[in-house]
Structure 1
Amino acid sequence: MLWCSGGCLVDVVPLMLHPVPPFIVAAEASGVASCLRLLVPATILLFCCLDTWTALRSSIIVLDTVESLFIPFALSSIAYCLLVIFRMLLGMVFHARMIDVADFNQNS
């Protein structure tokens, strides 16, 4: 217990470290760690704040559902980014050809 400046008692519980789930390790290794910033606090809340098995089980089911939805979402996001890059490259090639045609017509 600590006494804070406002005149209240604060119970300090040390944070217990738990093993990192494998999907977080894999996601960090693949470079999508920024997408998991919301899942890590949920995992910490799951392990540190819940003390009944029923709540723990339902939270595990929710996290498992989020994990199973995360992989298709990440793959679709990567596919969309690649599609946008491909369209930009096509646009650049098209405009470069238009400039070449305009220069050729001007020099003729």
Structure 2
Amino acid sequence: ASLGFDLIVMDHADDDGLYTSAEISGLKEKSGAIILAYMSIGEAEDYRFYWKEEWDRKKDRPEWIEEENPDWPGNYLVRYWEDAWKQIIFGTDSSYLDVIMAQGFDGVYLDKIDSYSSF
């Protein structure tokens, strides 16, 4: 049974936590669509699993986290070229990308790829 979409872009989690691989697999079967997870690579988001509680205090944030996006509270510009940010995003079993792919998504939709224009 198709939902009438060829492509679905969605978050990899909801308020209850990460979607399970069974949930993603079921959505693929039901929809027949390619399922991508949203992933911001130019901003850190304070509601993501990688955000550390101490980062809520500006003085305790890593230097690579810049100012908050005035249009999206809880989103912070990052120095995307810094190794610490890259390790959060990809390349380890617990990185943002690896968590998404382990859930069974077909890939990711990259957002904030234009963050370079802020520097």
Same fold (TM over 0.5): no
> Max radius of gyration: which structure?
1
Structure with greater strand share of residues: 2
Q: TM-score range by the shorter chain?
A: under 0.3
TM-score, normalised via structure 2 length: 0.21
